[in-house]
Amino acid sequence: MIRGVRLLGTVRAAMLLVLAWLIVAPAAAQTFPKFTGLVVDAANVLPPETEAALTAKLEALQKDTRRQLVVATIPDLQGYSNEEYGYKLGRDWGVGLRDVNNGVVLFIAPNAPAGQRGARIEVGRGLEPILTDALSGVIINTDMLPQLKAGDIPGGVTAGVDAIATQLRASPEEAQARLDAATKQFDQVHRRSASNDSGGGVPFGLVIWGVILLFVLIPLLRGRKRAGPWGKRYRSDGDGGALPIVLWSIANEIGRSRGSSWTGGGWSGGGSGGSSDGSWGGGGFTGGGGGDFGGGGASGSW
């Protein structure tokens, strides 16, 4: 039993070191543009008049609906996929109201080579039933990408903002009709291409499990095999419950270290809708203390 406890302590220590490296290193390396307003043109691709017009629209949307839409142009995704960068940016900026998480981030990354420039609509959990993955995909592919491909970046961004704002302002009946139409269109036109292009990098959770398997569990199993048959070793040492405890500890530590689930964009949104009695804190363009983004939305490239 003592040997089993020591084994558990050693494995937990190794696991925590691996997790600390995987989690802290990317976070330390990644930086986001400063949240200076509802339009953050960090890539310097929007004319002043376009930025002013977009800001006015977004402020009016926020005032009228208590939902926050933020637009950003990103000079460098720092090696991240559109999807991963999108929800991390939304979390970092705290877009949306606290508790209801009714924020949306629309960003483009225009500085990559042709064919790799990205556009992303990242949807807070509270708005996923209203702005689904299917509708987000239709907005990007139908409203934004044709203009972006033609070199009209201001026009493409404005078209995306207008389409999102229309859905967020719509009555329940109008919103549902748009969702139904988008789902049908997405099924007919985009579902096959989306399944072919869905690879946006290996999910972070799989990386964690892979490293733990490689550096912790496999050496542990090899050590057991060298010591003798599994059944005999466990019976003789009295630590038969050690391996299940180790596995439970790994899952528990991962859950505690992540703090929230990592959900990919399925088809329809999850999350919960609703209204809030909260306020927008210190000003018209500040985040509302939300930032609960789980991967809902859609991406495109040009």
User: Same domain for 128 and 229?
Assistant: no
User: Same domain for 81 and 229?
Assistant: no
H or E element that contains 55 = helix 48-65
Residue 145 belongs to some domain of the structure: yes
User: Same domain for 208 and 186?
Assistant: no
Residue 289 belongs to some domain of the structure: yes
CATH number where 110 lies: 3.10.310.50
- Tell me which residues of the chain have a pLDDT lower than 70: 1-29, 190-209, 211, 213, 215-289
CB distance 39 to 59 below 8 Å: no
What is the distance between the alpha carbons of residues 261 and 281, in angstroms, rounded to a whole number?
27
- Give me the pLDDT at residue 187, please: 84
CB distance 126 to 101 below 8 Å: yes
- Give me the pLDDT at residue 51, please: 98
Q: In this predicted model, what pLDDT tens digit does every residue of 8-50 receive, in sequence order?
A: 566 666 666 656 655 554 544 578 999 999 999 999 999 999 9
Tokens of 96: 């949306």
User: Same domain for 208 and 131?
Assistant: no
What is the distance between the alpha carbons of residues 274 and 174, in angstroms, rounded to a whole number?
17
Q: In this predicted model, what pLDDT tens digit does every residue of 236-260 receive, in sequence order?
A: 444 555 555 555 555 554 444 443 3
Residue 265 belongs to some domain of the structure: no
What is the distance between the alpha carbons of residues 42 and 23, in angstroms, rounded to a whole number?
26
Query: Residue 255's CB: how many other CB atoms inside 10 A?
Result: 11
Q: What is the total count of domains within the chain?
A: 2
Closest CA to 117 of 71, 148, 85, 95: 148
- Give me the pLDDT at residue 256, please: 42
User: Same domain for 131 and 239?
Assistant: no
User: Same domain for 183 and 218?
Assistant: no
User: Same domain for 104 and 74?
Assistant: yes
Residue 207 belongs to some domain of the structure: yes
User: Same domain for 23 and 43?
Assistant: no
User: Same domain for 42 and 24?
Assistant: no
The residue segments making up the domain with residue 157 are 34-200+282-301
